[in-house]
Chains A and B, each alone.
Chain A
Amino acid sequence: MAQEAIHDAPARASLIYDPKVRGIVFQVVLVALLVMGVWWIVDNTIENLRRSNISTGFAFLRGRAGFDISDRLIEYSSDSSYGRALLVGVLNTAAVAAAGIVTATILGFLVGVGRLSNNWLIRKLATFYVELFRNIPPLLVILFWYQGVLALLPNVRDSLSLPLGSYLNNRGFYFPRFVWEPGAGLVLAGFIAGIVLSWYVARRAKARQMATGQQFPVLLTSLLLIIGLPLLAFLLAGLPVSIDYPQKGTFNLTGGTNVKPEFLSLYLALSFYTAAFIAEIVRAGIMGVPKGQTEAYSALGLRSNLGLRLVVIPQAMRIIIPPLTSQYLNLTKNSSLAVAIGYPDLYAIGGTVLNQTGQAIEVVVIFMVVYLGISIVTSLFMNWFNTKMALKER
């Protein structure tokens, strides 16, 4: 506002020379052009659709889908609606993205730290991994897993038997499923109680250490609580579980839980591919912490793993989180490559819906809104996490 003080002194010249007025005029003209452009596009589209007798609107979502989907997290049959089919696709996309993000993060951190290791072999292996996966297009990585690894597994009849009644064949990975019986609620209650108690113990231990300097074995106690309490409840309730083992049927293994090769290859490919990028981000983050910090914790007498955990990593996280968010978004968007191997994600199912109904514009709008929605939720969460980790000035 200091500028106005300078401006108001002399008599006003023509409005054309007033930068403020000119600014507003340009903005108005730009907005008007934009609105006209959009209006023209929309009008033209509607006109063309009308002329070729293609119906418009989202009413088609209530129609009967008529096709089946193999991988689904919610109840769905060919009698369900197109809307439900798309929901199945959204959940499948979310499932593979969530699983991929968790694995990619863990793998990425391991490899990233490995690249800074003092061990020559680990360092070189980590470098090799990063260079390999970072320089291959994700679609190729997916096809590698699907056609190069999982398709070469034996047929159903010669399934590989794994421990605990699991099987591996070219139809996927089969493992026994726990069927919970009445009383299983107690086990869940025990598990939740374990988590809550661990959290409480951690808080108290921290407060005590702050006050007295005495330490408390938090990790051990937490593990004991989280595993021990449900186990105790399990025994008390009288083993309320039966196990459904996969068995050989006429064509496939029936029973148990089946993770299909389409999901597996997409999940593995996205995890391995994105982990290479995350590894580089982690390495950059750690290297971005000034050397003085390492020297400082050594001077304080902290051992190197403790110093890494308490001094270097918290500072590195501030550098790591923002680019990590982009990688999570990339992973989510890359999941649409599922269409190449027949995993029914949003894009694959949406494509089928588009084809059966001919509602191209509507389906593409749904694609955009859903991917935008998933990405925005991821961003919001990561921004929140970033603020939490950011340097707090006291």
Chain B
Amino acid sequence: MKQLAMGILSAAAFGFVATAASADTLDDVKAKGFVQCGVNSGLAGFSAPNDKGEWTGLDVDFCRAVAAAVFGDGTKVKFTGLSAKDRFTALQSGEIDILSRNTTWTINRDTALGLNFAGVTYYDGQGFMINAKKLPGVNSALQLSGAAICVQAGTTTELNLADYFKANKMEYNPVVFEKFEEANAAYDAGRCDAYTTDQSGLYAVRLQMSAPDDHVVLPEIISKEPLGPSVRQGDDKWFDIVKWTYYALLNTEEAGVTQANVEEMKGSDNPDTKRLLGTEAETKIGTDLGLSNDWVVNIVKATGNYGEIFERNVGAGSPLKIARGINALWTKGGLQYGMPIR
């Protein structure tokens, strides 16, 4: 029996150790020559392969920005499509360097799961979608008592759903799928009355339905879902790089530096812009971070600033057409606030 127990333990442990995280992710990344980034396996606007088979989306572009900061080349990144259930194990075990997969920042994940969230790339909230053709009378989530609801396993969505129905003393019947695609297909096939996920996700899912116009998103938002990239705990250097890549994207938008005008802006006399783009004499901002001093220039050249990434993937320039809303810069009434680069 003892032998058996040891056998089990070692078998369980082995997979974990074989790829265990090294303490210095930046060195590892530089040595292998690319950033390994965990993304959603298919969520339009955030991370999905396009018709040429290239990954596109807001979460994908964030990883490209990190790659550009490290290598000066936004293409030196490889993507791993992950289900909600596998994502944390993939990061903990060192299979990926960054998790950028519409993941909600919660205290449990930040502490017990051993993650560090680098920022909030998209402020979201959970909502419901129904097929208005099949359920013409329903126009509020509070009318969903008794409904079968499709949801993805291992998400905060699944937990919020349970809390919301409990708080409103309603019954429901969860139909839980491991993969996003499976949940979508089941909802489309009529297995469930309603579908729940983050609202941005609902708009993306709606586009994938066989008849998108039949589906409506109900007005209720039942939770706070700050989505952002995360890294492993215990490597502050790598954490800093990811965190400041995010701030650099926000600060460049605030300073008006875009993919198109970044070369021109390098000649600017404005001290703030000079500091941001690393053209200040004797600057050490980039090297202190473990990168080159033109890291911000590289980021903007690769992906554009935060505003450009947003509009291209989920905003006006995309089929999702989501308004900036609370994701606007703080100067424009939103919540996005870049810490000063100086």
* A→B interface (CB under 8 Å): 37-38, 41-42, 44-45, 48, 51-55, 66-70, 77-78, 147, 151, 155, 157, 170-171, 249-252, 254, 261-262, 339-342, 344, 348, 351-352, 354-358, 360-361, 364-365, 368-369, 372
Contacts of A252 in B (CB 8 A): 146-148, 173, 193
Q: Are B114 and A358 in contact (CB under 8 A)?
A: yes
Q: Are B191 and A365 in contact (CB under 8 A)?
A: no
Contacts of A68 in B (CB 8 A): 158, 161-162, 165, 172, 174
Q: Which residue of A lies closest to B150 (CB)?
A: A342
State the Cβ distance, B193 to closest chain A Cβ, in Å.
Answer: 5
Tell me if B92 is interfacial: C-beta within 8 Å of chain A: yes
State the Cβ distance, A104 to closest chain B Cβ, in Å.
Answer: 25
**CA distance in complex: A37, B14 (Å):** 10
A-B contact pairs, 5 of them (CB 8 A): A69-B176, A251-B135, A341-B182, A351-B154, A355-B153
**CA distance in complex: A342, B134 (Å):** 23
Q: Are B85 and A351 in contact (CB under 8 A)?
A: yes
Selecting from B15-23, B212-220, B251-259, B270-278, the interface stretch reads B15-23
Q: Are A358 and B112 in contact (CB under 8 A)?
A: yes
Most-contacted residue by chain A among B112, B147, B183 (CB, 10 A): B112
Tell me if B132 is interfacial: C-beta within 8 Å of chain A: no
Q: Which residue of B lies closest to A37 (CB)?
A: B10
- SS class, residues of chain A in contact with chain B: helix
Q: Which residue of A lies closest to B93 (CB)?
A: A360
Known: A52-B234, A78-B162, A365-B9. 16 other contacts (CB 8 A): A38-B6, A45-B20, A66-B159, A67-B176, A147-B185, A171-B191, A249-B146, A250-B147, A251-B135, A251-B144, A341-B177, A352-B154, A352-B176, A355-B153, A358-B113, A368-B11
- CB-CB nearest 10 A-B residue pairs: A355-B154, A358-B113, A78-B162, A54-B114, A45-B13, A52-B114, A251-B147, A342-B177, A66-B159, A48-B20
Q: Which residue of B lies closest to A54 (CB)?
A: B114
Contacts of A356 in B (CB 8 A): 108, 154, 159
Tell me if B175 is interfacial: C-beta within 8 Å of chain A: yes
State the Cβ distance, B71 to closest chain A Cβ, in Å.
Answer: 25
With A53-B234, A155-B190, A361-B12 known as contacts, the answer to whether A251 contacts B85 (CB < 8 A) is no
Q: Are A78 and B163 in contact (CB under 8 A)?
A: yes
- Give 1 or 0 for each of B211-255: 1 = CB within 8 Å of chain A CB: 000000000000000000000111000000000000000000000
Q: Which residue of A lies closest to B113 (CB)?
A: A358
Q: Which residue of A lies closest to B157 (CB)?
A: A67
State the Cβ distance, B292 to closest chain A Cβ, in Å.
Answer: 29
**CA distance in complex: A348, B151 (Å):** 13
Number of inter-chain CB pairs below 8 Å: 160
Q: Are B163 and A66 in contact (CB under 8 A)?
A: yes
State the Cβ distance, B107 to closest chain A Cβ, in Å.
Answer: 13
Interface residue from B14, B92, B93, B173 paired with A41 (Cβ < 8 Å): B14
Q: Are B159 and A342 in contact (CB under 8 A)?
A: no
Tell me if B332 is interfacial: C-beta within 8 Å of chain A: no
Contacts of B147 in A (CB 8 A): 250-252
Tell me if B186 is interfacial: C-beta within 8 Å of chain A: yes
Q: Which residue of A lies closest to B192 (CB)?
A: A171
Q: Are B114 and A53 in contact (CB under 8 A)?
A: yes
**CA distance in complex: A171, B192 (Å):** 8
Tell me if B62 is interfacial: C-beta within 8 Å of chain A: no
Q: Are B21 and A48 in contact (CB under 8 A)?
A: yes
Contacts of B310 in A (CB 8 A): none
Interface residue from B13, B135, B145, B159 paired with A361 (Cβ < 8 Å): B13
Interface residue from B6, B17, B189 paired with A44 (Cβ < 8 Å): B17
- Give 1 or 0 for each of B113-128: 1 = CB within 8 Å of chain A CB: 1100000000000000
**CA distance in complex: A307, B153 (Å):** 55
With A54-B92, A170-B189 known as contacts, the answer to whether A351 contacts B12 (CB < 8 A) is no
Contacts of A48 in B (CB 8 A): 16-17, 20-21
Q: Are B6 and A369 in contact (CB under 8 A)?
A: no
Q: Which residue of B lies closest to A343 (CB)?
A: B176
Residues B249-293 near A (CB distance < 8 A): none
Q: Which residue of B lies closest to A365 (CB)?
A: B12
Contacts of B17 in A (CB 8 A): 41, 44-45, 48
Contacts of B158 in A (CB 8 A): 67-68, 352
Contacts of B70 in A (CB 8 A): none
Q: Are B159 and A67 in contact (CB under 8 A)?
A: yes
State the Cβ distance, A48 to closest chain B Cβ, in Å.
Answer: 5
Q: Are A369 and B8 in contact (CB under 8 A)?
A: yes
Contacts of B21 in A (CB 8 A): 48, 52
With A38-B6, A41-B14, A78-B166 known as contacts, the answer to whether A354 contacts B191 (CB < 8 A) is no
Q: Are B8 and A365 in contact (CB under 8 A)?
A: yes
Q: Which residue of B lies closest to A338 (CB)?
A: B178
Contacts of A70 in B (CB 8 A): 173-176
Q: Are A155 and B134 in contact (CB under 8 A)?
A: yes
State the Cβ distance, A128 to closest chain B Cβ, in Å.
Answer: 29
Tell me if B79 is interfacial: C-beta within 8 Å of chain A: no
Tell me if B88 is interfacial: C-beta within 8 Å of chain A: yes
Contacts of B85 in A (CB 8 A): 351-352, 354-355
Q: Are A171 and B148 in contact (CB under 8 A)?
A: yes
Interface residue from B88, B159, B176 paired with A358 (Cβ < 8 Å): B88
Most-contacted residue by chain A among B89, B134, B178 (CB, 10 A): B178
Contacts of A357 in B (CB 8 A): 112-113
Contacts of B302 in A (CB 8 A): none
Interface residue from B112, B146, B166, B191 paired with A251 (Cβ < 8 Å): B146
Contacts of B108 in A (CB 8 A): 356
Contacts of A147 in B (CB 8 A): 185, 189
Q: Are A42 and B13 in contact (CB under 8 A)?
A: yes
Most-contacted residue by chain A among B153, B165, B193 (CB, 10 A): B153
Tell me if B67 is interfacial: C-beta within 8 Å of chain A: no
Tell me if B84 is interfacial: C-beta within 8 Å of chain A: yes
Contacts of A69 in B (CB 8 A): 174, 176
With A51-B23, A78-B163 known as contacts, the answer to whether A351 contacts B16 (CB < 8 A) is no
Q: Are A360 and B174 in contact (CB under 8 A)?
A: no
Contacts of A261 in B (CB 8 A): 191
